[in-house]
Amino acid sequence: MKLSLYYESDYYVHQNGRELEQMYETRLGYLRKALEEYRFTVVLDAACGDGRLSRLVKRTWNVPVYGVDISGKGVRIAKTFGIKAKVGDLSERIPFRSRSFDLVLSSETIEHLVNPDTFLKEVRRTLRPGGLLVLTSPNLASWLNRILFLFGVYPLVLEASTEKRVGLRGLSKFMSGEKLVGHIHVFSYYALADFLHHHGFRIEKVVGMPIAFESPRSKLLTALYSLVDRVFTGIIPLSSNYVVVAGKRDSDEEGSL
């Protein structure tokens, strides 16, 4: 299946749903915490989807927000929210001019990309000198995945098949649904730090972020997981997810691009 068609699915582009709104509002809270001491005037939401998070960013910081997404359907909806969005494949090119933005937001995106190296090169190109990349991403080496791997359970944030979630052994009965989400490249924190440095970024700040989990069989299990997961947000290499603020290094600015 062509990748752009995969992301036309209603699973990825929602036009309503309070549950989805709450997820973005929660994520916005962690973004605000990560960005509290920074100032920016023009934002690009890289993989803006249907523009719901872009709209929250626009309202919160009162700045113009541009967007790019592989889904034409998502871009059309984002435009109805006042987002200046374009269709584009982030594994190939960001369809905006160089030095257009002082902040690029990449929320739960890099793990979906076929070519994350090209993406970071394009982020550097479109960022102004001293600009920021802010990304959120799940942690391959989270506390839970480390435990599960000891028992031969496939990491929860990876997908070995493009048709069905496999490798969960008996764990699937405690989870609600087995919908694939299209994760291709998932990083541990240290791998992500090395990756960003390789592409000319320096990590300035990291905020741990939990991943929501709800067991259809046990409210106690849901509550226990949530408690432990929040504790581990304070230990970045073990956190289930994180917000990374990375500055564009300017010393070797344009030569390698």
- Tell me, yes or no, whether 217 lies in a domain: no
Examine the pLDDT at 9 and tell me if it is beyond 70. Answer: no
- Tell me, yes or no, whether 147 lies in a domain: no
- Tell me, yes or no, whether 171 lies in a domain: no
- Tell me, yes or no, whether 155 lies in a domain: no
- Tell me, yes or no, whether 125 lies in a domain: yes
- The pLDDT value given to residue 2: 60
- Tell me, yes or no, whether 71 lies in a domain: yes
Phi then psi for residue 63, to 5 deg, are -130, 155
List pLDDT tens digits, range 71-80.
999 999 999 9
- Tell me, yes or no, whether 98 lies in a domain: yes
Examine the pLDDT at 162 and tell me if it is beyond 60. Answer: yes
**For the whole model, what pTM was predicted?**
0.89
Examine the pLDDT at 216 and tell me if it is beyond 90. Answer: no
- The pLDDT value given to residue 168: 75
- Tell me, yes or no, whether 254 lies in a domain: no
Phi then psi for residue 31, to 5 deg, are -65, -40
Number of domains in the chain: 1
Range of the domain at 36: 3-138+182-210+240-248
Q: What is the CATH number of the domain that holds 10?
A: 3.40.50.150
Examine the pLDDT at 222 and tell me if it is beyond 90. Answer: no
